[in-house]
Amino acid sequence: MATYIARRLLWVPVLLVMVSFITFALGRFGPGDPVQILLGQNFREDAYERIRKQQGLDDNIAVQYARYVGNALRGDFGESYQYRGRSVTALLKNKIWISAQLNFAALLISITLGIAAGLFAALKQGSWWDSAMVAFTLVGQSMHVFLTIPIALLIFSLKLQWLPTHGWDGFFSTSIILPALVLGIPGVAIVTRLTRASTLDVIGQDYIRTARAKGLPERLVRVRHILRNSLIPVVTTLGFSLAGLASGSFIVELYFGIPGVGLLTIESLFSRDYPIIMAVTLLGTTLFVLANLIVDLVYPVLDPRIRLGGDYVAG
């Protein structure tokens, strides 16, 4: 077990180096000249040459990459091309906070609505409520934000005029409701399905019958015995979905004009802002790889039939 974890952890930096090199090389291969973008209308031949030299863009790509990694290790991800004079670290810090708030709100919606709906469906097993919930979990998982966004906007912003169509005013405002809702809907479906399945599993257990037999009020049976036990697999699975959630949010950020990481990334991709693209890729990859690692480590705890180690290191 310890060897396995050590091997997996040692593999993480190797992955990061390869991923960053691929991104770096692709960035240099791509079209457009960042210095031209940087200068914009103030383009002058001598200024162009000077800045190219200053940024070290004339050096060999391996040299440039080595310099980048050296700086990155010291926490310096360079300076943004499009936002002049602002360090990537400072820019990202702000954006990450906004995206984190949005994703947290979406997760909150997924958890509360999903657990409530799943529990309800399981307790009313066989009724039309249950069937409706099952149908919802099937449809909800395929609900692409491209459909839920226009529908939500139509109903809540245009017809009822309750919520703003776009913008961002922080966590405690009306502008977060729609984006968080559309981002959370597929999660609601997943959590509902999980909760329903695990609750049905728990309901059939002997200790539930015992609790009822000893005369415990139904409310206490549900809260203390059913709910508590059925949530164990749900909560553990939820932790895993955090990483997946974050990557899906860029469409929502673009649609609603929320100045988060997603919007920044797409902006940078179009304006060839390599330092930001690199930093976002590295950040995303690190989170993603670590999340996968945690999932792989936690699964055997949940399901002892899965053995760790084996003959290869799983991605």
Give me the residues that bind another protein (CB under 8 A), please.
11, 15, 18-19, 22-23, 26-27, 29-32, 138-139, 141-144, 146-147, 150-151, 153-154, 158, 165-166, 243-244, 246-248, 251, 254-255, 266, 269-270, 277, 281, 284-285, 287-289, 312-313, 315
User: What CA–CA distance (Å, rounded) separates 198 from 307?
Assistant: 23
Cβ count within 10 A of residue 63:
11
* Beta carbon of residue 136, minimum distance to another protein (angstroms, whole number): 12
> Bridge partners of 79?
87
Which of 195/249 has CB closer to another protein? 249
User: What CA–CA distance (Å, rounded) separates 136 from 116?
Assistant: 14
Which of 96/251 has CB closer to another protein? 251
* Beta carbon of residue 98, minimum distance to another protein (angstroms, whole number): 18
Please enumerate in sequence order all residues whose Cβ is within 8 A of that of 72, keeping only pairs 6 or more positions apart, or say none: 20, 282
Closest CA to 260 of 192, 180, 314: 180
The DSSP code sequence of 184-253 is HHHHHHHHHHHHHHHHHHHHTSHHHHHHHHTT--HHHIIIIIIIHHHHHHHHHHHHHHHHHHHHTHHHHH
* Beta carbon of residue 135, minimum distance to another protein (angstroms, whole number): 11
* Beta carbon of residue 159, minimum distance to another protein (angstroms, whole number): 10
Which of 38/256 has CB closer to another protein? 256
User: What CA–CA distance (Å, rounded) separates 65 from 267?
Assistant: 23
Which of 248/259 has CB closer to another protein? 248
Which of 26/63 has CB closer to another protein? 26
* Beta carbon of residue 165, minimum distance to another protein (angstroms, whole number): 5
**SS3 category, 156:** helix
> Bridge partners of 87?
79
Which of 65/255 has CB closer to another protein? 255
* Beta carbon of residue 50, minimum distance to another protein (angstroms, whole number): 26
Which of 66/313 has CB closer to another protein? 313
Which of 191/226 has CB closer to another protein? 191
* Beta carbon of residue 288, minimum distance to another protein (angstroms, whole number): 4
Cβ count within 10 A of residue 255:
19
Cβ count within 10 A of residue 77:
22
Buried b (16+ CB within 10 A) or exposed e, 31-60: eeebbeebeeeeeeeeebeeebeebeeeee
Measured in whole angstroms, the distance separating CA 142 from the mean position of its chain's CA atoms is 17
* Beta carbon of residue 151, minimum distance to another protein (angstroms, whole number): 7
